Every structure is written in structure tokens, then in C-alpha cells.
Amino acid sequence: MSQATRTLLKVLVEQRRWRYADFERHLGRTAAQVLDERARNLTVSESQFRRWTSGRIQTLPGPHTCLVLEHMFGVDAAALFGPPPTSESPAPAFNLEDEIAVTARDAQSDAGATAAESISETTLDQLRDDVISLARKYSSTPAFDVFRGARELREEAETERDRTQVPAQKQELLILAGQACALLSTAAFDLGSLDNARRLSRAAALYGETARFDPLRAFAGGTLAYLAYFSNQPAEGARLAQRAQMFAGLGDIARRRLAAIEARAFAYLGDVPSARRALDASQQDGHGLTDDLHDEVSGEFGFTAERLAMSKSSTCLLVGDGEGAEAAAKRSLELAAAKPLAARSVRVVGGAAADLASARLLRGDLDGAAEAMTPVWEVPRGHRASGLLARTARVRLALTASRFRAAQAAIELGERIEDFTRLSAAHQLGIGSGPLTPLEG
């Protein structure tokens, strides 16, 4: 072809005010419409686009390209690469209706592509409901079953996140994956696997950070504090609990939970004033604030009144306040008994009962301690979680005191606690790296 300085193609491109990127996009879309699958990936480099519009080519492009260009502009390919028409032979008029039709087709194509890169809201609703359901039935489900269910939910959330390009859906799926990860962490702790529970809780915190969802970060931070406390690192536990309270947007329940964990950590450290201060903070009524995790999802993410009372009894035991521990443990059992049987947490009932037994042993009441342990024996093997086992271990340790050592009732009670621990799910499955620290008062 002759070396011309302008081409009809350049005139038509300028009429449409297309830049190179616009031209390339329309070329690709038109190719997808008019060519078969083997030739649809038609592209043009910017340097080639400049040569086409300036006339610096010797031969026409390949047949596929010519076909696409003719379809785009409604002009024969040979004419497109020739010089623009003169006044005697004007260029084809710019057809506004055709341009509108092309724009409409492009918009429809883009919308279809976007829809293909999203997931159904029904799928998202179901996954959300499944996470909420698992969190709310946690207290009545064996920890191993919770672990398996949470693992499946996290994997499903990640799979759906790969399928969508919609930012709002991606964010919600991050939150749901993080919630499932938090449940995995709690289940791993209940099964005695502290190191893995710590990893999972940190993963949940990262999900919360990526999704900018502070309630999840605070919950994971509280769990990390709890894990540090049970790993004989109470100073670290207190620090983590305090740091988690600094997140914004937390409701009253979230703050009570974190303050309760902080109180127990300080009590284990022997810092009684700090423990009392945190304990008082955990008992406050609050300001009617809620958040989307601890209140809306609730369940294992919540912190019920009986759970709060049980935590208080443990803190009182750690500071040597047997009277306060006994009152709090009784209160926890009363609150649990007031609920329908299906809504009671056997872990909380067992934990409060063990704390009540420890409190009675502090004042030398061996028979009262044995009586208090009655609800503990009713806890099924799959529900004998780490926290409960640590509490029964504290009772077992108290029974070795000199004043109980020769008592037949103490010997029998100690042996029964050992059997209770040996038959727990974690012990039977061989999970965990060793027993939790028996927290002494």
C-alpha cells in the first residue's frame, strides 16, 4: 500500500474520540461476537495501532482482523486503510444510532461479565446462616463436630471469595471465613490443642484486619489472651486483653468478655488490685452498645450472664476469695438452671460446679465439694473441654492438701476426677501437647 499520512481508519477513530485503549477494547469485544472460539483472542499493540491509523502498512491485516474491523466500522477493509475521502467523495457519515447500539451492546456485555464474576446472594445468605447456626449451637455440640463444621465453612467461604469480584461480597466472605476460623480456634482449644488454637486465632485476627471488621479482631484478641493465660503466660494474657479493648465499635458484651479475661490474668499474676478493677469493669451494665458479632451472631461469640458469673468465680478463687467464688459459682448455676434444658451449656454448668467445689474445699467442706461436683459427672465426653478440665484439675490438686489426704472421701473424689479426665474426648483422641496448667488459687 502507498505511504499515506492519514487513513480513513484514523478519521473514523477520531470521530469517535477513541484512544488506543478504547480501540483495543472495542476490537476485542467485536472479535468475541463475530469470530469463532479459536480466533476470539484478537489483540493489537499500540505501535501497530499507530501504523494502521497513519497508513504505514504495506499489506492489509489478516482476514480475521479485516472481518472484525469491517464489522466495527461498516466499511470495507481496503477503504479503511486507504486515504480519507475528498470533498467529492466524503467519508461515511457518523451514524449516531449505530453508535448507540454498539454502546448498548457493550454495556450489556460488561454487565453480563460482571454478573458472571459475582456469586448469588442466596449462596451468601446460606453461608451466613450456617456460620450463625454453628456459633449458636456450639454449647450443645461436641467440640470435634464443631471443628469439622467450621473447617468446611471456612473452606466454602474461601472458595466463594475466589469466584466473586464484587468488593462488598469479598468483604463479607472475608468476615465469614474469619468467624469460621475463630470457631475453629475455640474448638481446637476445647480439644486441648493450644498451639494450633493460637495459630487459628491469629488467622481469624488477620481476616478481621483485612476486612476492617474490628469486632472479629477483638474477639480473636480475647481468645489469644485466654490461650496465653492457660499457657502459664498471665502477663501476656493481660496485655493482649487490654490491647483488644482498644478496638473501636465494640458492644457491651465484647467489653465484658475482655475485662473478664483480663481480670483472671491479673489474678493469676497475683496483682489483686488490677484483678479487682478489671472484675468490676466486667460486671458493669454498660451503655446499651452492641456490635455485629458478639450481639448479632452471638452464640459462642457472645458472653452470657452465667458464663460471666463462672468467670468471676474463677477469678475469685485465684485471689483466694472463697466466699466470693462460692457466691459467683452458685449464681452461674442458678442462671443456667433458669434456661430451657436445650439452651443450657453443659460446659458452663460443669465449670461452675467445679468452681463451687473448689470454693468449698477452701473452707474445708469436703462433703459439700463432693456434692457440688454432681453436675460435672453428667458432662458428656465430647463436651469435656479444656477449660472444664483445668477446673477439675484444680479440685484434684486441692484434694492433695494435708487436711484431706487421709480422708477416704477425698481419695474417691480424686480418683473419680482422674477417670473423668481420662475419658474426655481430647484425651481419648490424643489431641494436645500436654495438660493445661492447673490454675491454683
Residue type present at position 386: S
pLDDT reported for residue 4: 46
Measuring CA to CA, which residue among 262, 254, 256 is closest to residue 234?
262
pLDDT reported for residue 35: 82
CB 35 within 8 A of CB 115: no
Which of 66, 91, 116 is the C-terminal boundary of a domain? 116
Inside any domain, residue 196: no
Which residues are CB-neighbours of 296 under 8 A, at least 6 positions away? 290
Q: Is 76 helix (H, G, I), strand (E, B) or coil?
A: coil
Inside any domain, residue 73: yes
Inside any domain, residue 426: yes
pLDDT reported for residue 150: 97
CB 361 within 8 A of CB 336: no
Inside any domain, residue 65: yes
Distance in angstroms (rounded) separating the CA atoms of residues 50 and 20: 9
Inside any domain, residue 387: yes
Query: What Cα–Cα distance (Å) separates residue 39 from each residue in 1, 52, 65, 66, 319?
Result: 26, 20, 10, 13, 78
132 burial via Cβ count (<10 Å: 0-12, 13-18, 19+): middle
Which of 58, 86, 116 is the C-terminal boundary of a domain? 116
DSSP secondary structure code for residue 248 in this structure? S
The torsion angle over the Cα atoms of residues 53, 58, 62 and 67, rounded to 10 degrees, is 50
DSSP secondary structure code for residue 356 in this structure? H
Distance in angstroms (rounded) separating the CA atoms of residues 373 and 148: 31
Inside any domain, residue 368: yes
Cα distance from N-terminal residue to C-terminal residue, the chain: 96
CB 165 within 8 A of CB 117: yes
Domain carrying residue 32: 8-116
Which residues are CB-neighbours of 138 under 8 A, at least 6 positions away? 146, 183, 186, 299, 300
pLDDT reported for residue 342: 87
pLDDT reported for residue 433: 42
Which of 116, 142, 162 is the C-terminal boundary of a domain? 116
Measuring CA to CA, which residue among 108, 94, 7, 92 is closest to residue 50?
7
Distance in angstroms (rounded) separating the CA atoms of residues 375 and 306: 15
pLDDT reported for residue 43: 82
pLDDT along the chain (441 residues), means of 10: 64 83 83 72 82 80 85 82 66 55 59 68 95 96 94 96 93 98 96 94 98 98 96 96 97 98 96 97 93 97 97 96 97 96 93 98 96 97 92 95 93 96 74 46 34
Cβ atoms < 10 Å from Cβ of 227: 22
Residue appearing with cell numbers 468452681: 355
Q: Is 142 helix (H, G, I), strand (E, B) or coil?
A: coil
> What length does the chain have?
441
pLDDT reported for residue 115: 57
Distance in angstroms (rounded) separating the CA atoms of residues 68 and 225: 64
Inside any domain, residue 109: yes
Q: How many domains does the chain divide into?
A: 2
3-state helix, strand, coil in the chain (%, to 5): 70, 0, 30
Inside any domain, residue 217: no
pLDDT reported for residue 352: 98
CB 173 within 8 A of CB 213: no
Distance in angstroms (rounded) separating the CA atoms of residues 80 and 72: 11
